[in-house]
């Protein structure tokens, strides 16, 4: 007897349940004491019941707060963000680090913070109220269930001047670069430079504004600032490297059906992903064939032809952009060749007989008969 396919779901809880096994009809639920999660198995045909399982466990498990339901193998990768959004601060200053999860199931999650790979805190937000040099390091957060975030570097300085830049800089961003002097001391004029060349004159403005970030924004920025201490004015400076990350991944254009026969429908999709570090952004898609536009920018990531013809063959490209035009990326070319419909080797009436013959004896026997009869192949429209 063929074993029934099982769909697996995983639930995680920080509370031990009263019992380790549950059953509800054809749904089997097992508790793992080792890593504090439920493994739920249910028939493939009953996957729509998954939304009922959380309530089911609440009833049969007496009281299990903090349950989270996810699909087995689904990645929930958090992102570390800073408030204020600067990756360098002075000693004595405050910063809030938040573990952001792009998910509708964030409520009830359990959060763990690591500094330089050592666990330091539990909770969604980690607040440093009075920073010291020892608070500098590489921070990561982890959700349960979920994965560990990419590291976010925090630098803590006890110098006179620091140049502050956002933790993440992406194409299309609007950013301020701040020349900040140590709290409690008067500051004077400021001058900014990039790659050793001045980009501003001396002024009282301690911030440099970039309206739209692009690839040319990347570089080494520095500032020189007047700071008054011990009764005199001194000039201090700091430098930092700014890199610009892609807002969008490289788009991939895909033909849904690999072999397209003349007269068949043809459908292309344009797939890309938005960086998890940015807020949700509306994307628009366009399609091109041999350099000519076949579908202008719209919210649809699909290009469809109801009845493909040989002249629809060619090299196709898709392009993705944000609704604000802040970032645009193109896919590689996809060569598509529309095939002529294969011609039956039998007259129409004989094709019907041959097809009936195939149904009666099976495809393997039909192929054997065709090979023995010297026929290379036959096409049956069914």
Q: What is the pLDDT of residues 176-189, one digit of tens each?
A: 999 999 999 999 99
Asked if 156 and 131 touch (Cβ cutoff 8 Å), the reply is yes
Q: What is the pLDDT of residue 243?
A: 94
| CATH level 3 topology of 79-242 | Immunoglobulin-like (2.60.40)
Q: What is the pLDDT of residue 236?
A: 97
For residue 162, what are its two tokens?
A: 């620091």
| CA distances (Å), origin 185, targets 88, 194, 203 | 18, 26, 18
**Cβ neighbours of residue 2 under 8 Å, at least 6 residues apart?**
none
Q: What is the pLDDT of residue 257?
A: 77
Cα dihedral 304/308/311/315 (nearest 10): 40
Q: Is 374 helix (H, G, I), strand (E, B) or coil?
A: coil
Asked if 27 and 40 touch (Cβ cutoff 8 Å), the reply is yes
Stretches where the chain sits below pLDDT 50 are: 1-16, 18, 33-36, 42-74, 104, 343-359, 363-364, 366-382
Lookup result for tokens 């096994």: 21
Spatial strand order in the sheet of 207-210: 161-164, 175-181, 207-210
Q: 79-242 with 252-336: one CATH topology?
A: yes
> 254: buried, middle or exposed (CB in 10 Å: 19+, 13-18, 0-12)?
middle
Asked if 199 and 209 touch (Cβ cutoff 8 Å), the reply is no
Q: How many CB atoms lie within 10 A of CB 316?
A: 22
Q: Domain map of the chain by residue range?
A: 6-71, 79-242, 252-336, 343-382
Asked if 93 and 157 touch (Cβ cutoff 8 Å), the reply is no
Q: What is the pLDDT of residue 320?
A: 94
pLDDT in tens, 128-147: 999 999 999 999 999 876 78
* In 34-180, alpha helices (H): 50-60
Q: What is the pLDDT of residue 376?
A: 35
| CATH pick for 252-336 out of 3.40.1000.10, 2.60.40.10, 3.40.50.800, 3.30.70.3270 | 2.60.40.10
State how beta strands 283-289 and 314-322 pair.
antiparallel
* Distance between first and last Cα of the chain: 32
State how far the Cα of 117 lies from the Cα of 114, in Å rounded to an integer: 5
């Amino acid at each position: 007897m063929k074993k029934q396919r099982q769909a697996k779901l995983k639930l995680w809880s920080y509370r031990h349940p009263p019992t380790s096994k549950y059953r509800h009809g054809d749904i089997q639920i097992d508790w793992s004491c080792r890593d504090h999660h439920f493994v739920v198995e249910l028939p493939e045909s009953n996957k729509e019941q998954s939304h009922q399982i959380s309530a089911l466990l609440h009833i049969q498990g007496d009281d299990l707060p903090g349950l989270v339901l996810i699909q087995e193998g689904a990645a929930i990768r958090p992102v570390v963000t800073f408030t204020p959004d600067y990756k360098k601060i002075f000693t004595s200053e405050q910063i809030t680090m938040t573990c952001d999860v792009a998910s509708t199931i964030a409520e009830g999650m359990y959060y763990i913070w690591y500094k330089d790979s050592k666990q330091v805190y539990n909770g969604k937000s980690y607040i440093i109220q009075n920073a010291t040099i020892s608070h500098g390091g590489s921070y990561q957060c982890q959700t349960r269930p979920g994965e560990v975030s990419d590291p976010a570097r925090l630098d803590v300085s006890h110098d006179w001047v620091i140049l502050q830049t956002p933790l993440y800089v992406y194409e299309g961003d609007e950013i301020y670069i701040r020349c900040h002097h140590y709290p409690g001391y008067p500051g004077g004029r400021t001058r900014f430079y990039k790659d050793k060349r001045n980009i501003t004159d001396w002024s009282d403005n301690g911030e440099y504004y970039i309206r739209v970030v692009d690839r040319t924004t990347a570089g080494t920025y520095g500032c020189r600032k007047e700071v008054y201490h011990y009764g005199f004015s001194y000039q201090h400076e700091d430098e930092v490297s700014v890199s610009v990350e892609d807002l969008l991944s490289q788009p991939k254009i895909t033909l849904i059906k690999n072999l397209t026969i003349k007269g068949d429908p043809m459908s292309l999709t344009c797939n890309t992903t938005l960086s998890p570090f940015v807020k949700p952004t509306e994307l628009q898609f366009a399609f091109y064939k041999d350099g000519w536009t076949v579908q202008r920018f719209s919210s649809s990531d699909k290009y469809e032809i109801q009845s493909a013809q040989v002249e629809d063959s060619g090299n196709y490209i898709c392009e993705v952009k944000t609704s604000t035009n802040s970032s645009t990326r193109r896919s590689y070319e996809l060569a598509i060749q529309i095939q002529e419909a294969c011609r039956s080797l039998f007259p129409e009436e004989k094709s019907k007989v041959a097809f009936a013959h195939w149904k009666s004896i099976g495809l393997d026997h039909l192929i054997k008969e065709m090979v023995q009869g010297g026929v290379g192949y036959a096409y049956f429209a069914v």
